[in-house]
Structure 1
Amino acid sequence: MAHDQHPHHHHHIDPEAGDARVAGAIAVNLFLTLAQIVGGVISGSMALIADAIHNLSDALSLVIAFGARKIARKPRDGGMTFGYGRAEVVAAMVNYTTLIVISVYLFAEGVSRLFNPPEIAGWTVVIIAVIALSVDLVTALLTYTLSKDSLNIRAAFLHNLADAGTSVAVIFGGVVILLWDWRLIDPLLTIAISLYILWQALRELRPVIRILMLGAPEGTKAGDIAAALEGIEGVENVHHIHLWQIDEHRNSVEAHVVISGEAAPVLVEVKALLRDRFAIAHSTLEVEAPGAGCAGDADPAVPAG
């Protein structure tokens, strides 16, 4: 079904204040990563090091998102006529691709340790994982509001919630080692963490690829737009429809519209419908008279549905 909301979202957060929150989240994640790596080496816990690497990837993703936020706010110019908004989409693509690589590495490491589980200091694992859980929750609080309006920050927010979950898993593993000395729990949790990261990265990667591949906005189809516009009085036919997302918040369409009679008032109604019903504020329309131009021609690149 088509979107009913306006394409522009305003949560009234000053950009500089938002940047400060992201910078704070980066700082606490880097501190956490260092603490977890040291603790993992001292304790011999691969699961703790796995969680540290995941946290490092979150810190790096926040660094990339921080830079992308700055670039995205640059005004459009003669060379970048749509502006720089897609910088954040590109950053998200980099972040998720990196997460996939990390998850594959952690899976392989966990499998290898199944056959040779190391000695692990359970108390060290539990203490540092509790610290990790606290930092994950602080980071989530810093980025929650920003996550509503940014694909990059939303991804980082979701990753930190995932980190909180993996920290709980590591705490569980440490308790099991302390109580029963069952060392296989550590590589098993490492494998579980890696599979969860992989699943999450692949799921979040889909909308990013959709934007970069000039896909139509989720839930909007060319055929739906054609049918809606052809319901406007004076519009006889709509064809050669191309839909895409300029960036996360701006949708665009170009189309040929066959209009009988005076075009100006009909175009006003067409643009209003596109904006209000489909959340498309940027439209490029070529007006054709009945029987002229390419009226009625099918566009093989865009199926009717």
Structure 2
Amino acid sequence: MPHDHGSGHTHIDPASGDRRVAIAIWANGILTVAQIVGGIFAGSLALIADAIHNFSDMAALVIAFGARKISRRPADDKMTFGYQRIEIVAALINYTTLIVIGLYLVYEGVMRMVDPPEVLGWWVVILGGVALVVDTLTAMLTYSMQKGSVNIRALFLHNLSDALSSVAVIIGGTLILLYDMRWIDPAITIGIAVYILYLAFTEIGGTIRLLMLASPPQIDNEALIAAVLGVQGVQDMHRVHFWQVDEQRISVDAHIVVARDHWDRLEAIKSDIKAMLASEFGIRHSTLEFEHPDHPHPGAAIYGHD
């Protein structure tokens, strides 16, 4: 299964990307303070829920900003693979935060459904409108950056869910003004929370896969092994590992048993395998250990160390 790493990725220079994230941090920080104050004054849990979500966005942005900076450090004697995976850790933290916030908002919403408080609808509508503008701006700032980064994609989903939450808050404030439907405020809060949980649980699996060094889902393992076995001189293949340092770079490690009558062609066979991996599967990093058919690892499985 061929895979083109470059397709669909919009590359933005690091300095420009950092500026976008910094702007988003300040915008969400100011908005969070305004929403919390307004939510307390207006008695709106939905507005406070949106503020808490915005605060989580600001925290997520700070984490992502730091992770972007750290990920650019070159490999050293302590981190021989480099620091790129810090962005995956940041994404996991942000998705986990989304889940915790979502569960908390469900609890608070249910408690308020029992005894809906008085809510000042105009405050809810006005601050919800301001939040929508900021959330939309932040989502636009991170949209073009999220296609090639699990870290920024976590941010984008935070921002997108915030924008949709703000729309829901505005609708809720309007219904309170028109029909005094006080129960709508906690109901919208629960709806926001369910949507947050849906986004978080949908995306966190891919992040965990990366951290667990799972086989990249876009690679057909069996097809790749068959392709390697089809290279002239290759007799067998075992102890195969597919993994990723980050979302863009797929790596493979494997033991290759070379046919006896091709043993003097090791360099040519290695070049053929690496060229095939790059052209057919988009894999440009491979570590290959060659074995003589008279001395292979006994009982070695296709995958794993045993």
TM-score normalised per structure 2: 0.93
Mapping for residues 1-305 of structure 1, pairs under 5 Å: 2-6=1-5, 11-260=10-259, 261=262, 262-294=265-297, 297-299=300-302, 301=304
CA distance 1:98–1:144, shift in 2 (3 Å): same
Amino acid at match of 2:96: T
**Partners of 2:170 and 2:130 in 1: CA distance:** 10
Superposition deviation, residue 302 in structure 1: 8.3
SS at match of 2:257: strand
**Partners of 2:30 and 2:38 in 1: CA distance:** 12
Superposition deviation, residue 10 in structure 1: 6.8
**Partners of 1:300 and 1:218 in 2: CA distance:** 16
Check whether the contact 1:77–1:83 (CA below 8 A) recurs between aligned residues: yes
**Partners of 2:298 and 2:71 in 1: CA distance:** 38
Superposition deviation, residue 137 in structure 1: 1.1
**Partners of 2:304 and 2:281 in 1: CA distance:** 21
Superposition deviation, residue 138 in structure 1: 0.9
Amino acid at match of 1:152: N
**Partners of 1:227 and 1:201 in 2: CA distance:** 36
Check whether the contact 1:7–1:279 (CA below 8 A) recurs between aligned residues: no
**Partners of 1:222 and 1:131 in 2: CA distance:** 49
Amino acid at match of 1:157: F
CA distance 1:183–1:9, shift in 2 (3 Å): closer
SS at match of 1:148: helix
Provide Cα deviations, 1:252-284, integer angstroms capped at 9, x if missing partner. Answer: 111011223111112112112222322322211
Check whether the contact 1:237–1:296 (CA below 8 A) recurs between aligned residues: no
Provide Cα deviations, 1:174-229, integer angstroms capped at 9, x if missing partner. Answer: 11111110111111111111111111111111011001111111132433321121
**Partners of 1:291 and 1:8 in 2: CA distance:** 44
**Partners of 1:122 and 1:182 in 2: CA distance:** 10
Check whether the contact 1:33–1:53 (CA below 8 A) recurs between aligned residues: yes
Check whether the contact 2:243–2:251 (CA below 8 A) recurs between aligned residues: yes
CA distance 1:57–1:105, shift in 2 (3 Å): same
Check whether the contact 2:105–2:189 (CA below 8 A) recurs between aligned residues: yes
Check whether the contact 1:32–1:52 (CA below 8 A) recurs between aligned residues: yes
Check whether the contact 1:7–1:251 (CA below 8 A) recurs between aligned residues: no
SS at match of 1:13: coil
Superposition deviation, residue 67 in structure 1: 0.2
SS at match of 1:120: coil
**Partners of 2:131 and 2:234 in 1: CA distance:** 60
SS at match of 2:77: coil
**Partners of 2:11 and 2:104 in 1: CA distance:** 40
Q: Which runs of 4 or more aligned residues in structure 1 lie more than 6 Å from their structure 2 counterparts after TM superposition?
A: 7-10
SS at match of 1:138: helix
SS at match of 1:99: helix
**Partners of 2:305 and 2:165 in 1: CA distance:** 43
**Partners of 2:126 and 2:292 in 1: CA distance:** 74
TM-score normalised per structure 1: 0.93
Check whether the contact 2:35–2:51 (CA below 8 A) recurs between aligned residues: yes
Check whether the contact 2:237–2:302 (CA below 8 A) recurs between aligned residues: no
**Partners of 1:276 and 1:51 in 2: CA distance:** 47
Unaligned runs of 5+ in 1: none
